[in-house]
Amino acid sequence: MTLDTADPAFRADRFRTYREIRESSPVTRTLVNGQPSWLLTRYRDVERILKDPTCVVEPVPGQIPPHVGDGPAAHFYRLSLPNMSPPHHTRLRKLAGPAFAPRAIASMQGWVEEIIAEGIDRLADFDSEVDFVSEFATRVPAQIACRLLHAPIEDADTVLERMPALNAVLSQSDITADQLADADEVAQFYFDYIGAIIDRNRGRLGEDDPVGALLAAEEAGDKLSREELVVTLVGFFVASYHTTMVAMTNTVNALLTDRAQYVALTQDPSLAGTAWEESLRFDAPVHFIWRYAPPGGLEIDGHHIDAGSHLLLGLAAANRDPEKFDNPEVFDLTRARIRHLAFTAGGHYCLGAPLSRIEGEILLRRLPEKLPNIELREKNPTRMPDLSFPAITQLMVSPHGH
């Protein structure tokens, strides 16, 4: 069995398809973006590839997939941290790392909590039903992203709404000419927007600040170029908004679908951190990423994978692998040792994971406290058809129950 994204059964229930592939053919050939790929869906295989430094994200250094074109979106793709292999990735990651060190994250916690609390208060103002996605999950991460990058907070409701167009070049889905044109336009918009933020903040920020740390590296002259600085900060802007938006929506959907889990959380707020990790395992914000096989090729379960072959890594499928997790199809607040792959693993492990964790813990501590009776108005919400980023587009809830 292979992956057919046009199959109505896949669109109706991705996780059933992942389970069937993992059980019948966990190492299998498929086609993505017009190129042959090897699809891996078991936890052990996906983790192995992620932790293998010889499995790179560029087929050859500096080469990018032809489907991303050669415009601003391709420039964004080429210089984005997730798309780089060592040594360039190692250098940029080392420069960006201090922005998400424990001290820096601790300094953010107060204002992150304030933004999330205000967002929950807005939800509480609705007497009947409200769309959690539009009223909370898009607005709150946008405000956090703007604060993180020193963008005007009043831009939160407008600037980031264009961001999903960039997903077309980062996803493993097919891309149309119109999607690529939109991605080029939006990439150039963000280059200009972030460039202006950089220029406004020169000399104003300390090195314990995400923007300040990278500005200091760029101003040193030999560590970071301006274009690398701009693209890295655009990447931070995109990731801190989109991934958080999807993760918050997925978490609330999972908790309210299994009402007993939400009730347990209202009774024991100390479960908030575990609930966030379990939601990332249960419904990962990103379903697929990629790597390329190393020069010597790979052997996996008797399959020889040639050097340079495209590897499609099923993060969401791996996170529900029964070899790794007991009762993986169950959302369980009491689950121990949740070593999910939502933040990937190895050298490309998500830099923003510590920030995500404080956002999730705050949300899941504050929401049950303020809205203990919140309920879903509809189950099985519609998702974007994108292979890598199947975001829930609308999640109708009743903040105070029926």
For residue 116, the model assigns a pLDDT of 97
For residue 53, the model assigns a pLDDT of 93
Band of residue 354 on the pLDDT scale cut at 50, 70, 90: very high
Looking at the chain, the whole-number percentage of residues with pLDDT higher than 90 is 57
For residue 241, the model assigns a pLDDT of 85
Whether the pLDDT of residue 2 is over 70: the answer is no
CATH numbers and ranges of domains, the chain: 8-398 (1.10.630.10)
For residue 78, the model assigns a pLDDT of 87
Comparing CA positions, the residue from 49, 41, 50, 37 lying closest to residue 17 is 41
Band of residue 84 on the pLDDT scale cut at 50, 70, 90: confident
CA distance 141 to 123: 15
Average of per-residue pLDDT across 253-277: 95
Average of per-residue pLDDT across 75-92: 86
CA distance 131 to 198: 34
The residues, ordered by sequence, that sit 6+ positions from 363 with a Cβ below 8 Å of its Cβ are 116, 120, 248, 251, 272, 276
Whether the pLDDT of residue 171 is over 90: the answer is no
Q: What is this structure's pTM?
A: 0.92
CA distance 268 to 344: 29
Whether the pLDDT of residue 33 is over 80: the answer is no
What values do phi and psi take at 376, rounded to 5?
A: -75, 140
Whether the pLDDT of residue 378 is over 90: the answer is no
For residue 315, the model assigns a pLDDT of 97
Q: Helices 353-370 and 102-124, interaxial angle, to 10°?
A: 30
Whether the pLDDT of residue 1 is over 60: the answer is no
